[in-house]
Chain A
Amino acid sequence: MKQGILTDILDHSHRADPYPLYAELRKTPVYHDGEGPYVVSTYHEIMALLHDPRLSSDQRNRTAGAADPLAEEDTGDSATLPPGFLKLDPPEHDRLRRITNRPFGPPHSPHRIESMRGDLDETVKNLIDDIAAGTSGNGEGTERIDLVDQFSYPFPVTMICRLLGVPREDEARFHVWADTLAASLDPDPTADQAERAKVTQDARMELGMYLAGLIEDRRKNPRDDMLSHLAAATGEESMSTMELLSTAALLLIAGHETTVNLITNGMLTLLRHPDVLQRLRSEPGLAVPLVEELLRYEPPVQLLPQRTPLVDIEIRGVTVPKGAAMWLVLAAGNRDPQRFENPDRFDPDRKDIQHLGLGSGIHSCFGAPLARLEAQKALSELARRLENPRLLEDPPPYRQNAVLRGPRHLMIACDGIRP
């Protein structure tokens, strides 16, 4: 398929710095080369489309054969499960998201995330202690730390387990399934495809069976966790077991892959801006605006590839036909000079920071409050505890995935770890 700039964006060789390509793309706010998707890259157009009810997130509204090189990149829910609310429109989307929100946030559960702060602090502390003690990683201590494998990766999975109510003794199994599913989002062109597909399918099956068992158990012996509350709901505001399974799988995948990249991109950005890292060390409160700027500057979800117009819509003089494939390039909108001053500058003091990093409108990131706390805590503690941290490789090796973009490893060294 010949797609010019879109091929370049998907090409792994541009993964470390796709931003010059996005600048090129913004010259044509609604890019379409005749056969591929319609690609929107400017801030105001993306923001308007995120709030436009004429745009669907449901793949079933795509015209058969609408050309999209990302159409096969599944976001993780198995073909055997119904789509999660990420890939549904109102009213089904609203119903499932509302039910899922009941045990998660206000108005019904205003203290759920707040009550996780202790767990969050403890998990971050233990992971950094393990790095200090040399009990994680490859035995090279603080001379060679893989921040992805030893920190960014295990942290969000642990928090999702706590949120859903996965017992601690089962967390290790959960990590293995999460790793396998994450790898399936990151296609390795040299691997045996059939073997990989089988391993992924097996992990999905095992995870599904495990969650089904856990849901069954929580129905009988409810606790104060999300799965118990979701399983106990009755009447109109409840889910079928299949819906509950696909929602749990959605929370696991979406809440995990993205936060890993937010934390890793964050540390990479700080190590490239030592003055900001130094400030964060003495001013932990800076983590709050810093994470917002990070969501603008290096968003973990670079583009939304699954929007489809329900009718012909006109954007900046271009008619996008009903059923066509559309991409909204959030990371390009976040660097739009028509919207942000000095958009390529990382500036945690930026006051005007209505970024697109967590989306907007009805599909805006469900887990945003948890992701924010995780990233704020992780980055401020890494800044405080690592002595003289430095990058061993810049740029680091990136995952294949152009949508959920982030380093596969982030090798760093430091002189020691403060208590």
Chain B
Amino acid sequence: MLRLVVDLNRCQGYAQCAFLAPDVFAMHGDEGLLYDPQAEAAQRERVAQAAAACPVQAILVEELEASDA
């Protein structure tokens, strides 16, 4: 499992995460962001892409150990 935190004060609604990991991040209207704070390990690569692509670097990802199996 992955633990996600998005700093919604930084988030500017660029939606790059919602393009790159659409099963974890979703747009609510044009600017609001919804996300799954405990994403499946299978989403790891996409979440990493999303975090790297965030123009304001608002996404923090932490690996939750022992729940990967």
Contact = CB atoms under 8 A, between A and B. Distances in A.
B28 A107 contact: yes
Q: How large is the interface on A (under 10, 10 to 19, 20 to 34, 35 or more residues)?
A: 20 to 34
A369 B49 CA distance: 10
Contacts of A376: 49
Contacts, number: 59
Nearest to B15: A106
Contacts of A219: none
Given A106-B27, A114-B22, A368 B49 contact: no
B52 A288 contact: yes
B27 A114 contact: no
A337 interface: no
Contact of B29 (A107, A111, A354): A107
Which secondary structure dominates chain B's binding surface?
A: mixed
Contact of A292 (B18, B29, B30, B53): B53
Nearest to A360: B55
B60 to A, nearest CB: 12
8 contacts: A106-B25, A107-B30, A113-B20, A285-B48, A292-B52, A292-B53, A368-B16, A369-B53
A288 B27 contact: no
B19 A369 contact: yes
Given A114-B22, A354-B55, A105 B49 contact: no
A372 B22 contact: no
A323 B11 CA distance: 32
A358 B55 contact: yes
A295 to B, nearest CB: 10
A98 interface: yes
